[in-house]
């Protein structure tokens, strides 16, 4: 299947090819024709599946021939839960719309509202926004939403998790009833279905398999370790394995800050990204990380949501997430676009419940590997809740043993749970 076979016009496929993509991803193949027909859509797809292009490309085509928007009016509205995701979706829109005359703008909180008000005065074809700032702008009569032709709710599940339901309801009351609505969500929970019922009109449902069952390029493994020695172990892994571009997940903002300081003591350049940082600090941290100025970015789940860093080689769960689905989102940061990635979790005995929940969700017992000199005093109980299944069936599991002579790296570590990965 090629992009032009999906019904997309030449100026759009040209922009896609310029990005280096010649084959639509499964979500793109399924969603694009539906959106082009003008139907409402409910799509289950996670970050990393190519979901952004799945709505941006047909949206551009549907807007291409219409009249310019009047002052303060918006023709297509994309709502995202986080600033990072808004910025990223906007960057995609700029890339894909390069051969069109459509205008676009991104607005989110944490930055000066003045320039956003000014830019909205002339009206905009495509507006990407986070809910709070959008309502704020509407309250100041800087934007009018009664002409919106297409609404996209991106990562709707995360919007609900973050407590945006009231903002979404309010937004809904400001939008015209007749419009095309697209809802993207990692999962279709009962809550999401409820929201979809009130917001979508006879939607077509499309689903692509979650990343954990399709992406076999992510090698997952856990290192059992005592809680007090996690930071030391992380520094050891980064230094001895010569890792660069490591994304580390911390459950708390405080924990993220503390870890950055501890890593600095081992001469590891690290930065933190979380909700207590200003927008400027977050943007800078991400830019430094992408540019290789720092080797490690420590992030909380919400801040990391939607961040797209091409071919990120290492993801480390410094703490396991409380919500098992977040594990899948976290490891979705690596192993993209055909690149192999490694997702490692440092797990202490007190996190057994979280581990068990994750293993149940992904229907896999994660391979365990103790690192010499870091064997835990508090043993992590064996997990046997999940059916025994090879990780990433059909391909080799993590190949620690097949690195002869690499004593420093992995050869010295000890594997447990022999049946798990064999
Ligand atoms: P997304 O799920 O939208 O965050 O996209 C994940 C990554 O896949 C981004 O880096 C996209 O630029 C990239 N991507 C999107 N569509 C394709 C495609 N058809 N082929 C290859 N990569 C793509």
How far from each other are the two terminal CA atoms of the chain, in whole angstroms? 36
The residue whose C-alpha atom lies closest to atom 23 belonging to ligand 1 is 50
Distance between Cα 245 and ligand 1 center (Å): 19
- Closest ligand 1 atom to residue 28 Cα is 19
- On the question of pLDDT at 409 being above 60, the answer is no
For residue 211, the model assigns a pLDDT of: 47
For residue 308, the model assigns a pLDDT of: 61
Tokens of 413: 């570590």
Distance between Cα 54 and ligand 1 center (Å): 9
Residue 197 has a CB neighbour count (10 Å cut-off) of 10
Are 210 and 51 a contacting pair, CB within 8 Å?
no
Are 318 and 234 a contacting pair, CB within 8 Å?
yes
Put the strands of the sheet holding 246-249 in their side by side order.
270-273, 296-299, 246-249, 314-317, 341-347, 218-224, 368-370, 414-416
Tokens of 372: 């010499």
For residue 324, the model assigns a pLDDT of: 86
For residue 174, the model assigns a pLDDT of: 97
- On the question of pLDDT at 212 being above 60, the answer is no
Beta strands 124-129; 74-79: pairing state: parallel
Average pLDDT taken over every residue of the chain: 85
- CA-CA distances (angstroms) from residue 110 to 22, 82, 107, 156, 258? 37, 11, 10, 21, 24
- DSSP for 153-215, please give it: ETTHHHHHHTT-HHHHHHHHHHS-SSSEEEEEESS--HHHHHHHHHH-SSPEEEE---HHHH-
Are 318 and 346 a contacting pair, CB within 8 Å?
yes
- On the question of pLDDT at 33 being above 90, the answer is yes
Residues 6+ apart with CB under 8 A from 20: none
The residue whose C-alpha atom lies closest to atom 19 belonging to ligand 1 is 24
Probe residue for ligand 1, chosen from 15, 25, 47 as the CB with the greatest number of ligand atoms within 8 Å: 25
* Rounded Cα gap, residues 156 and 192, in angstroms: 7
- Closest ligand 1 atom to residue 19 Cα is 12
309-354 pLDDT tens trace: 656 788 999 999 988 888 887 887 776 555 568 899 999 999 999 9
Residue 241, Cα to own-chain centre: how many angstroms? 26
Distance between Cα 119 and ligand 1 center (Å): 29
- CA-CA distances (angstroms) from residue 167 to 23, 144, 310? 37, 16, 32
The residue whose C-alpha atom lies closest to atom 20 belonging to ligand 1 is 21
Distance between Cα 15 and ligand 1 center (Å): 13
Q: pTM value?
A: 0.64
Among 79, 89, 53, 104, residue whose Cα is nearest residue 154: 79
Put the strands of the sheet holding 204-207 in their side by side order.
104-107, 124-129, 74-79, 150-153, 180-185, 41-44, 204-207
Q: Could you say which DSSP state residue 245 is in?
A: S
Distance between Cα 254 and ligand 1 center (Å): 32
Q: What percent of the chain has pLDDT over 70?
A: 86
Are 150 and 59 a contacting pair, CB within 8 Å?
yes
249-275 pLDDT tens trace: 999 999 999 999 999 999 999 999 887
Distance between Cα 144 and ligand 1 center (Å): 31
* Rounded Cα gap, residues 362 and 324, in angstroms: 9
For residue 101, the model assigns a pLDDT of: 95
Among 265, 269, 281, 187, residue whose Cα is nearest residue 231: 265
For residue 414, the model assigns a pLDDT of: 46
Distance between Cα 61 and ligand 1 center (Å): 19
For residue 290, the model assigns a pLDDT of: 85
The helix or strand, by DSSP H or E, that contains position 44, with its residue range, turns out to be strand 41-44
Probe residue for ligand 1, chosen from 52, 87, 312 as the CB with the greatest number of ligand atoms within 8 Å: 52
Rg (CA), the chain: 22
Lowest mean pLDDT among 213-222, 234-243, 346-355: 213-222
- CA-CA distances (angstroms) from residue 277 to 257, 280, 362, 367, 392? 10, 8, 32, 35, 37
Residue 282, Cα to own-chain centre: how many angstroms? 16
* Rounded Cα gap, residues 399 and 257, in angstroms: 33
Distance between Cα 128 and ligand 1 center (Å): 18
Pocket residues: Cβ below 6 A from ligand 1: 21, 23-25, 28, 47-53, 308, 310, 336-337
The residue whose C-alpha atom lies closest to atom 14 belonging to ligand 1 is 50
Beta strands 314-317; 246-249: pairing state: parallel
- CA-CA distances (angstroms) from residue 346 to 1, 211, 296, 366? 41, 21, 16, 12
- Closest ligand 1 atom to residue 25 Cα is 19
């Amino acid at each position: 299947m090629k992009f032009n076979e999906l019904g997309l016009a030449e100026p759009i496929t040209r922009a896609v090819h310029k990005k280096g993509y010649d084959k639509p991803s499964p979500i793109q193949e399924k969603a694009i024709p539906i959106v082009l027909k003008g139907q409402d859509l409910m799509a289950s797809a996670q970050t990393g599946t190519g979901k952004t292009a799945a709505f941006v490309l047909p949206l551009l085509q549907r807007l291409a021939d219409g009249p310019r928007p009047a002052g303060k009016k918006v023709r297509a509205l994309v709502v995202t839960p986080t600033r990072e995701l808004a910025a990223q979706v906007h960057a995609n829109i700029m890339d894909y719309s390069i051969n069109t005359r459509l205008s676009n703008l991104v607005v989110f909180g944490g930055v000066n509202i003045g320039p956003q008000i000014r830019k909205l005065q002339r009206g905009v074809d495509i507006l990407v926004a986070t809910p709070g700032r959008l309502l704020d702008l509407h309250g100041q009569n800087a934007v009018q939403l009664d002409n919106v032709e297409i609404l996209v709710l991106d990562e709707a599940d995360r919007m609900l998790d973050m407590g945006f339901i009231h903002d979404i309801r309010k937004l809904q009351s400001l939008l015209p009833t007749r419009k095309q609505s697209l809802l993207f969500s990692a999962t279709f929970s009962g809550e999401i279905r409820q929201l979809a019922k009130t917001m979508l009109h006879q939607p077509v449902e499309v689903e692509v398999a979650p990343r954990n069952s399709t992406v076999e390029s992510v090698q997952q493994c856990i290192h059992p370790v005592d809680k007090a020695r996690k930071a030391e172990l992380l520094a050891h892994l980064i230094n001895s394995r010569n890792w660069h571009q490591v994304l580390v997940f911390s459950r708390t903002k405080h924990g993220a800050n503390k870890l950055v300081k501890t890593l600095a003591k081992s001469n590891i350049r690290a930065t933190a990204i979380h909700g207590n940082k200003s927008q400027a600090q977050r943007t800078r941290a991400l830019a430094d990380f992408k540019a290789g100025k720092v080797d490690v970015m420590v992030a909380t789940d919400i801040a990391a949501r939607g961040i797209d860093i091409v071919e990120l080689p290492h993801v480390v769960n410094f703490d396991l997430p409380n919500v098992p689905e977040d594990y899948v989102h976290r490891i979705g940061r690596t192993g993209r676009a055909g690149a192999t990635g490694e997702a490692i979790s440092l797990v202490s005995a007190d996190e057994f419940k979280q581990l068990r929940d994750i293993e149940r969700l992904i229907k896999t017992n994660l391979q365990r590997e103790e690192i010499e000199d870091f064997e835990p005093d508090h043993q992590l109980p064996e997990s046997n809740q999940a059916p025994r299944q090879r990780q990433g069936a059909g391909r080799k599991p993590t190949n620690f043993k097949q690195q002869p002579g690499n004593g420093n790296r992995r050869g010295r570590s000890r594997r447990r749970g022999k049946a798990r990965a064999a």
